[in-house]
Structure 1
Amino acid sequence: MSLLDLRTCNLGQEHIAHDHAHHQLILATCGSTELEVAGLGDRVTGGRGCLIPCSFHHEYEGDGCNRTLVLDVPLAAVTEMRDGEGLQRLFERPRFFTVPARLSRLATTLMAQLEQFPALHSEIAALLLRAIYLHLESEASAPAPVSRRRPLERIDIGRLDAWIDRHLAEEIRVERLAALCALSPGHFHALFRELMGITPLAHVQQRRLEHARALVRHSDLSLGHIAALVGFRDQGSFSRAYRRHFDGTPSQERRHTEATAESGASLHELRASIAPSHVLV
């Protein structure tokens, strides 16, 4: 049988973009990796895996503290394996999938076996691939659950906010946010508005301004520098947006903060200067 290449690795904080002439399965036992393939974006974690068919361009960047299983599957291996037709279906399209606890435990066990018996990596890989195939087949045949929490299930606001906060200085487009949720831009926009009551870009603007307010209040950075850090093209547009959102300019906010701090310091100094002899008994 053609060799299945299974290996453990740590995906570092480096942006990688490529494609290859083999299928690929990616799982993690800890940590996370941001990955995008064919317009789909998600994180590979202990509870989320990814299947990448051959020749599909993909990009990824790890968190630097992950333990990741990468399985390369040559095209010839698929046809040679038992139920090769089913395995071909497994890689018929790029997809992210949920990794249940039992499958995550199996991946952790197999990772330990791989490290202990590297010569058996092809056999261990075949077992892992078979387990993934059976899991996804059973998941596909199960009736779809009826749920009233459709927006909450498809959009993880905490994860989106964490991604937005890391990219405030950049242009953030709805298409990128939709890809992180594995949704089309139109579907994502509708679900997001239903969930949050505002548009995705209005939400991004709020995140920019809330971070800017913290910097205005608690740093000595110039307003121009703050504007750039949170993604405004110039200080003027930053000040106008800030005034609309907070009913005051950044300069006014900073002066008020400084005055409040000086007043508090003066009061503290006054109290400290009062000696016991000044207190009337």
Structure 2
Amino acid sequence: MTFLDLRAATLGQAHVAHAHDHHQLILATCGATELAIEGRGDRITGSRGCLIPCGRHHDYRGDGRNRTFVLDIPAKSLPALRDGEAIGRLFERPRFFAVPPRLNRLAASLMQQLEYCPALHSEIAALLLRALYLHLEAEPLPADVGAPAVRGFSERLDLARLDAWIDRHLADEIRVEQLAALCALSAGHFHACFRELTGMTPLAYVQRRRLDHARTLVTHSGLSLGHIATLVGFRDQGSFSRAYRRRFAVSPSRARREDRAFPSPGQEHRSSGQAGGPEST
């Protein structure tokens, strides 16, 4: 790659994660793509674009219906561009930015021109990049300064739905990709959104639900500890006991003994009634 490389693409629903040695502009004319850069993400739409500096790891997953400009910009090409030094500064950090309707209309028009005249891709790329530079220079967005922020995480994550799914699959291996798919997010974006919302990673959250469910079984069922370990997704009783002790500061066997040695008031009442027979009225 020696100069600007512009292409129009439909980003599919497969999760892709990589890094590359060139800067990249992502700009959609329609549809949506979930994209995260080093764990912080946003949603690329006709009103939201993204600048990815070279070497930054990122992952994405499209909706399969988007039309998206992907512009690759080798750093060595910048000196040859008009305002190349200033454009280079746009890629000093990852950045998501608002796309006003006029810029979206221009992008849609340029996409048509690219499809009609693919030989002009360098000229079309330069025009698109110039228009973006002028937009960002004229209308800086304070929210974009620094690392890109996770937007709308509380609206995108339905914790009640996730909890129900996790509880149905406690005995199985649960992967972040499975949870992300329930929210139509890439794994990286889901991880960032989930941590922002809950204060913990998705897998730590799953582990907590496993152990909370196990605690109920330990204290309110006669199942063996090995059986309980299997039901909540641990490979053996030893790893289950260690995790249980870290979570509750007591081993599951001791928790069971203590619960039976000191029954709740309701349990005492039932035991008393069973020992002395029904009370007369």
Identity %: 53
C-alpha distance 43-237 of structure 1, shift in aligned 2 (>3 A):
farther
Who is 1:119 aligned against? 119
Kindly report which structure 2 residues correspond to 1:1-281, keeping only aligned pairs within 5 A, or say none: 2-140=2-140, 157=152, 160-164=154-158, 169=165, 200-201=197-198, 232-233=209-210, 236=213
Q: CA offsets, 1:230-254, max 9 Å, x none?
A: x9437936989xxxxxxxxxxxxxx
- AA aligned to 1:236 is H
Task: State the distance in 2 between where 1:27 and 1:79 align.
Answer: 23
Normalised by the size of structure 1, how large is the TM-score? 0.56
Who is 1:221 aligned against? none
Q: CA offsets, 1:165-186, max 9 Å, x none?
A: 686657689xx9xx969x9999
Who is 1:214 aligned against? none
Q: CA deviation at 1:160?
A: 3.8
C-alpha distance 4-167 of structure 1, shift in aligned 2 (>3 A):
farther
* Root mean square deviation of aligned Cα: 4.0
Task: State the distance in 2 between where 1:38 and 1:19 align.
Answer: 10
| Contact preservation (8 Å) 2:157, 2:194 | no
Task: State the distance in 2 between where 1:162 and 1:28 align.
Answer: 20
User: Unpaired runs of 5+ in structure 2?
Assistant: 144-148, 167-175, 200-205, 218-281
| Contact preservation (8 Å) 2:18, 2:59 | yes
C-alpha distance 78-167 of structure 1, shift in aligned 2 (>3 A):
farther
Task: State the distance in 1 between where 2:119 and 2:162 align.
Answer: 43
Q: CA offsets, 1:119-174, max 9 Å, x none?
A: 0000000000001111111113x8x79xxxxxxxx8855x643344686657689x
Q: CA deviation at 1:13?
A: 0.9
| Contact preservation (8 Å) 2:30, 2:68 | yes
Task: State the distance in 1 between where 2:126 and 2:15 align.
Answer: 29
- AA aligned to 2:198 is L
Q: CA deviation at 1:38?
A: 3.1
User: Unpaired runs of 5+ in structure 1?
Assistant: 146-153, 189-199, 203-227, 241-281
Task: State the distance in 2 between where 1:239 and 1:47 align.
Answer: 48
Give 3-state SS (helix, strand or coil) of 2:119's partner: helix
Q: CA offsets, 1:205-235, max 9 Å, x none?
A: xxxxxxxxxxxxxxxxxxxxxxx9xx94379
- AA aligned to 2:36 is E
Task: State the distance in 2 between where 1:8 and 1:238 align.
Answer: 53
- AA aligned to 1:162 is R
